[in-house]
Structures are given as C-alpha cells and as structure tokens.
Amino acid sequence: MASDTGIFKMMQWETLIRETVQMGGQLVFLKDKAPVDQDMYLETLLSHFRYEIPFVRRSVADIQSATFRTKATDLILFFEEQGELIDALNSVLQGQRLILAKKNFVKTPFVDFVWSDCSLNDWTQVLGSLKQNWKKPPALPQFGEASQAPCLFLDRDDVVVKNVPYNKEAQKVQLLPGIIELINSAHKKGYWVALVTNQSGLGRGWISWKEYQAVHQQMLSLLAEKGAWIDECVWSSFIEEGVPVGNLYAGLRKPRAGMLQMVDEKLHVRMETSILVGDSASDILAGYSAGVGRLYLLSSDKLVKEQASLEEFKKKDPRLQYEWAQTFADIIL
C-alpha cells in the first residue's frame, strides 16, 4: 500500500502533467543520451492516452538550431542520464523542466522539479490514476482572478497617434489630442491599458523590424513625457492577400479577437467591463468577438465607410452594439 507521502507525490505529478495540457503545452522528450527504457515510458503514455496528451521527442540539435521551439507552457522531461544536457540548452529552452530520476538527483537552479525514484512502474501508476479522472479535470488556478480589472483597449493609428500609412520614420509620430488624458484617466480608475494594432506593413516587408521599433518607442516616449503609459502592446503582421507565411498568425489580425485574447491571458482582464476604442469596423468587431463590454468607434475620415460596414454586420448579428465618439471626451470610463 502506498504511503501518504507517496500518494501526495503521485497527485503532484498528475497535476503537473494535467495543467501542462490544459495550458496548451505538450510533453517534450529528448533523443540524446536517452536511457534504453525511454521507449517504454513513451509506449505507456501512448497506451493510456493515445494522443490526448500531446508529446514529441526531439534532438538537442533541433532545439539549438530552432528547427523546433519549445513554449513556456511545455513540460520538458529529462531522464537522469540526460541531466548534463540542460546546460547546453538552457539559453534556448522554454517551458518547465522535470527530471525523472531513479535515484536522488541534486537539483540545480536550472531544474524546476525532480521526480525522485521514478521507476517505470511509478510512471505507469501516475498515468493510470490520471486517466481515471481525465474527463473531469479541475479548473486551472487563476492567481489574477481576485484582482481582475477592466482594460482600455486602443488601436494605434488614428487613435493613439496620427495615421501615417506604413510609417517607418520616428520623427513623424504625433499623439492625437486627448489621448494622454484618456489613458491617465483610465489608469486612475483602475484600468489596464493595452494597444492592439494591425501592422501588415511588417508582413509585407514594407517596414523593417528596426523601423517599427523606432516608431513604437517614439510613441511610448511621447506618452511618458506626459506621465502616461501603456501596460501591454500587441501587434499583428498578418496580411490577407497572397500566400501568408505561417508565423504571421492569421488569428491575431483584427477583426479576429486574437490580440485581445493574448492581453487577457497575461493581464486577467474583466472583459465585460472593459472598453475598446478604434477607428475601424475591424477594431469594433474584434472587441465584440472578445466580449468587450463597451465599444467606441472614434470619428475619422473613414467614419461613414466604417459605420456602413458595421451596420451590414448588424443585419446578420443584431446583438452588436457600439457607440460613436466624436472626441475622446465622449468616452465614458
């Protein structure tokens, strides 16, 4: 019969594996210096879960060359024999690191967890116990839930700064009148402030990353001069026409809600009391898709066109509600 301590350890490793999957991560095993029984560990995982628990086996060379990239949500499993590989991978390896040790292993600063005395039998027991409760997993803990705050989501061009199409010159950056007051007021009332902006010029190659950085930092510098700041900035470089490159992430580009969802994952936003300010229909629809409580369409030269697009959308989905703001003073926080 397992001791109380043994049962606790089993539950600990079950939780670690379950939460890895819930967060969208995978188990990552290494080919190099693998013990002779590594295949048996993988076969046990496969027999219990098929592919319900995603896993891969990669080489050190794959990771060092960026042929394969780990994510912060991944769980990297090193067998005791592979412990020396951690130093070689430390600078490029994301994710939590777990050592499967068959004897006591001395934990180092670059190792997060050590599963001591982890035999194939222990591994099989943990997976078997996890399988029994797999269909009803507990909710992930949300440390930010108690202090969840609304967010003021802002588009960039013609909302925070004057629109200069595909701007690559920092000296052309000009803040719009009233944006300082809106941002500072939002912070005083306990809002997060986030920038969510489509930047297809990056995807098209019309703007270099260095040029984009200079423009972006100039905007932040001008805000800082007036005591204003933005808590989180997300941009999408996806382009709709042509054959897109995979790493441009179509799901981020507005009117999709991807950028707002990224902000929510990081800042634990209360969407239903949040506000979005944009100058286009795609801004408003992204906020609507993300569940933002109040949506403001800011007046611009293209106002009539954008309103027409939104009214057309409302014929299909009349639940969409938004307000028109002539100036920032019309936005109620």
* Tens digits of residue pLDDT in 212-231: 999 999 999 999 999 999 99
* Tens digits of residue pLDDT in 148-184: 899 999 999 999 999 999 999 999 999 999 999 999 9
Q: Pinpoint the alpha helices (H) of 105-257.
A: 120-132, 179-188, 200-204, 209-225
**Residues 62 and 69 sit within 8 Å (Cβ to Cβ):** no
Q: Is the peptide bond before 255 cis (omega within 30 degrees of 0)?
A: yes
Query: Please, which pLDDT band fits residue 17 given cuts at 50, 70 and 90?
Result: very high
Question: Does pTM surpass 0.75?
Answer: yes
Count of beta carbons in the 10 Å neighbourhood of residue 326: 9
The span from the CA of 259 to the CA of 283, in Å, is 11
* Tens digits of residue pLDDT in 117-150: 899 999 999 999 999 888 766 767 666 555 689 9
Q: Residue 240 pLDDT more than 70? A: no
Q: What is the mean pLDDT of residues 290-304?
A: 95
- Domains, the chain: 4-132 (3.40.50.10490), 147-330 (3.40.50.1000)
> Mind telling me the catalytic residues?
155, 157
